[in-house]
């Protein structure tokens, strides 16, 4: 009897320090079953037992990749369209728009000209940006500025789609902007006939944007007014406030003379 009790005691002591094979494989041990002495037994199957007891899974080991859930239905399509638009807006993974740094990839940019824009708000100075957002504008006779737009920073931009460039050359956008700039380095600036709008039009014609070679300064002026977006509220005020004040002065003078 003493020998049997001694053997049982030794067996329990060994089970406390070394996992018992029978206990490790026992279903009771998976769900927190008791030991021969009634105490709690350590969990033997980490993955399954942890889930059964806590209802949670353990952290994923390194090397495993997260599986993106399938997006179905209208919500999934809406999310996919939103992501596509965002990629398109940022140039398909390139540099994004940054108004503070003056970076407008794949954009036509516009800024007011003092006095002239005050009288005619739709008329201003225009430039075109490279794929990285660097501004090129025909700033004066035989001079095309780079990243230093004449008359100040842009207040309005018109985002274009590089996917509408009709060319097999993947760098056709930048090539067209460069070639147009080199051409206008040899031209005299004419406010009415050959100006900054004409420089942008030549770049769009060279790349056959939207499968068209009929871009001109009148068309660009209209599309910029229609599709252009202001960089900030300050840009909108800078464009229209002088005109509104000037119009108010004229109306005041006319009404005063009429009342007399």
Of the candidates 111, 219, 229, the residue with the CA atom closest to the CA atom of residue 159:
229
- Whether residue 100 lies inside any domain: the answer is yes
* Tens digit of each residue's pLDDT (9 = 90 or more) over 239-249: 999 999 999 99
My answer on whether 231 and 119 are in the same domain is: yes
Q: Judge whether residue 47 has pLDDT over 70.
A: no
Paired with 108 in beta bridges are: 128, 158
My answer on whether 141 and 222 are in the same domain is: yes
C-alpha–C-alpha distance, residues 238 and 241, integer Å: 6
My answer on whether 32 and 107 are in the same domain is: no
My answer on whether 150 and 45 are in the same domain is: no
Q: What is the pLDDT of residue 95?
A: 55
- Whether residue 19 lies inside any domain: the answer is yes
Report residue 56's pLDDT band, with 50, 70 and 90 as the boundaries.
low
Domain count of the chain? 2
- Whether residue 253 lies inside any domain: the answer is no
My answer on whether 45 and 106 are in the same domain is: no
My answer on whether 133 and 18 are in the same domain is: no
* Tens digit of each residue's pLDDT (9 = 90 or more) over 76-135: 666 656 554 444 444 443 457 888 888 999 999 999 999 999 999 999 999 999 999 999
- 3-state SS class at 48: helix
- Whether residue 69 lies inside any domain: the answer is no
- Whether residue 256 lies inside any domain: the answer is no
Mean of all residue pLDDT scores within the chain: 77
Please give the residue range of the domain that contains residue 17: 2-54
- Candidate ranges 53-67, 72-86, 93-107, 193-207; pick with highest mean pLDDT: 193-207
My answer on whether 25 and 123 are in the same domain is: no
My answer on whether 125 and 239 are in the same domain is: yes
- Whether residue 260 lies inside any domain: the answer is no
- Whether residue 185 lies inside any domain: the answer is yes
Q: Judge whether residue 197 has pLDDT over 80.
A: yes
My answer on whether 45 and 115 are in the same domain is: no
My answer on whether 42 and 111 are in the same domain is: no
Please answer whether residues 136 and 144 qualify as being in contact, where contact means their C-beta atoms are separated by less than 8 angstroms: yes
Taking the CA of residue 62 as centre, how many other CA atoms within 13 Å lie in the half-sphere pointing to its CB? 0
My answer on whether 130 and 203 are in the same domain is: yes
Give the ranges where 40-90 is alpha helix by DSSP (H): 46-54, 73-89
My answer on whether 114 and 206 are in the same domain is: yes
Mean pLDDT of 198-227: 95
- What burial letters (b/e) apply to 2-30, b meaning 16+ CB within 10 Å? eeeeeeeeeeeeebeeeebeebeeeeebb
- Whether residue 222 lies inside any domain: the answer is yes
């Amino acid at each position: 009897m003493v020998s049997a009790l001694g053997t049982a005691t030794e067996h329990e002591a060994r089970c406390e320090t070394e996992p018992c094979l029978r206990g490790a494989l026992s279903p009771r041990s998976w769900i927190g079953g008791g030991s021969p002495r009634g105490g709690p037994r350590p969990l033997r199957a980490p993955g399954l037992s942890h889930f059964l007891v806590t209802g949670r899974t353990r952290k994923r080991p390194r090397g495993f990749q997260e599986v993106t859930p399938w997006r179905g239905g209208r919500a999934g399509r809406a999310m996919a369209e939103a992501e596509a638009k965002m990629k398109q807006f940022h140039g398909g993974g390139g540099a994004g728009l940054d108004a503070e740094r003056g970076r407008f990839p794949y954009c036509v940019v516009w800024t007011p000209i003092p006095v002239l824009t005050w009288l005619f708000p739709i008329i201003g100075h225009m430039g075109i940006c490279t794929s990285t957002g660097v501004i090129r504008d025909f700033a004066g006779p035989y001079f095309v500025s780079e990243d230093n737009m004449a008359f100040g920073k842009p207040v309005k931009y018109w985002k274009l789609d590089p996917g509408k460039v009709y060319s097999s050359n993947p760098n056709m956008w930048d090539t067209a902007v460069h070639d147009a700039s080199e051409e206008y380095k040899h031209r005299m600036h004419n406010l009415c006939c050959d100006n900054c709008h004409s420089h942008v039009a030549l770049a769009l014609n060279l790349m056959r944007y939207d499968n068209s070679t009929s871009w001109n300064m009148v068309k660009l002026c209209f599309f910029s007014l229609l599709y252009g977006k202001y960089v900030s509220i300050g840009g909108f005020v800078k464009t229209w406030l002088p005109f509104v004040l000037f119009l108010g002065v004229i109306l005041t003078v006319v009404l005063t003379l009429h009342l007399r």
